[in-house]
Structure 1
């Protein structure tokens, strides 16, 4: 499929998804969200893809927010449907994906852009990045998971402050708060993302997927994360990758995982 708002490229087992609306600071309009749903669905289903790096085109922005022009004519029902569709089709799809997703934040990540980054499993940022949830300045509030995921990542107090003041934070602050795990010079951002993801891709794919499910279970209402861990741990013993991992350990060699 040809995308109008995304660039898709593969580097080995890494799938790059780049939001390509640089003149709009890569803002998320409905068309881009629909393409993200397709792109991530394809990447998760493709056996040749081991993990995904998502970033924004150009040096200024990862994603500077949603396309506010599309909000102007919405009523309560329309706003509710907009949020629910975004959650289901994009943000939850990424968060619950079976393959690791790294957000490489290259500049502004505001509103829906920060929410997109927070849906990813790991976030790293360039040293010039700025992050925030400014929705209350528009008479809105975060609607793509921001109130929930920011609280999980930085704690209730800091999430309250960031959302209620609408202030942006710097990349070093985001690192201190636990919102990102690494800060790099802009020129080194994608190399650092690849370094992390390539290390992850040496591990057993089914074990990675199981670990993602278990970590997410810790934040899912009505789910006992400990029971999820017990079940997923047991399932690992039925995989070929487990047998290979143990054999490689005992034979003092590097494991050759097949994702089976």
Structure 2
């Protein structure tokens, strides 16, 4: 790969993955997706939790419209065979891979940038954040999993309004609509995300995997099937680390941590 459009750093048990096209507001093209795939796979091998953030003044302004225009005008030769959408593949590696991910958001979190953000399991934003889905004004439609992920976060009514009218949500509105859980002062999102990721990395890996892989699948099931899958999960073999942690709590060596 000729240019580093996605950076990678391992900080203890946490992998830091940065979108690195600041001059393009971290717009996402196929090269970014390819490098993001490599970084996410590497994080799954090396880390216990990942953080995704954007270099420069924005998280991501979404789809690279120049690349989209090239496809729309036939300048890009389509593949001979249909394959899974590259964004779907990579964002699913984040959403349902071996480790949890925290997104650190600032500036523009728009279109495909919002689709990427909602693939993460925990989202932190600072007060500079704004969220948008301008596809309606561009003559296109969401294509990076937004119909599934964004709609499940904010609901149909909010998503339809954002797409039809081009309305932008502020950081406070984004928190109200559950796009972000943690809101920080400007410049504080990455530090907060790293703090949260370090805490998540201390969990039993098997439990983190169940939270990020089993829990969303239960949400797709009927009431009875969901309870059955939970029952099956609760009767699966537990890791030795689970037994050790339970014993520590029973012995009084582990305490519940009260909220700050």
Fold shared per TM-score above 0.5: yes
C-alpha separation between the residues in 1 aligned to 2:221 and 2:63?
Answer: 28
Counterpart of 1:68 in structure 2 is 65
**Structure 1: any 5+ residue segments left out of the alignment?**
256-260
Structure with more of its chain in helix, by fraction: 1
Alignment match, 2:48: 50
1:186 deviates by 2.2
Aligned to 1:21: 21
**1:66–1:222 CA distance, 2 compared to 1 (3 A):** farther
TM-score, length-scaled by structure 1: 0.88
State the Cα distance separating 1:14 from its structure 2 match: 0.9
> Over aligned residues, Cα RMSD in angstroms?
2.5
- Contact kept in structure 2, 1:101 and 1:122, CA below 8 Å: yes
1:83–1:143: 8 Å Cα contact kept in structure 2? no
CA shift digits 1:90-140 (9 cap, x unpaired):
111111112110110021011111100011111111101111111111111
Q: Distance in 2 between matches of 1:138 and 1:51?
A: 35
Give the Cα–Cα distance (whole angstroms) in 2 for the partners of residues 218 and 165 of structure 1: 33
Superposition deviation, residue 154 in structure 1: 1.3
Where in structure 2 are the equivalents of 1:71-90 lying within 5 Å?
Answer: 71-74=68-71, 78=78, 84-88=85-89, 90=90
Q: Between 182-191 and 107-116, report the one with greater CA deviation.
A: 182-191
Report the equivalent of 1:146.
146
Counterpart mapping for 1:241-256 below 5 A: 241-254=241-254
User: In structure 2, the residue corresponding to 1:61 is in which secondary structure?
Assistant: coil
The 3 A distance-change label for structure 1 pair 82 and 221 is: farther
CA distance in 1, matches of 2:83, 2:66: 13
Question: In structure 2, the residue corresponding to 1:43 is in which secondary structure?
Answer: helix
Displacement of 1:82 in angstroms is: 8.5
Change (3 A) 1:13 1:93: same
Offset from partner CA, 1:18-74 (integer Å, 9 cap, x none) = 11111111111110100111110111122xx1100000001x210111111111232
2:18 partner SS:
strand
TM-score by length of 2: 0.88
Q: Which residue of 2 aligns with 1:208?
A: 208
Match of 1:12 in 2: 12
Distance in 1, Cα, partners of 2:82 & 2:182: 35
Contact 2:115 2:145 in 1 (8 A): yes
Gaps of 5+ in 2: 256-260
How many residues are treated as equivalent by the alignment? Answer: 250
Higher relative contact order (CA 8 A, sep 6+): 2
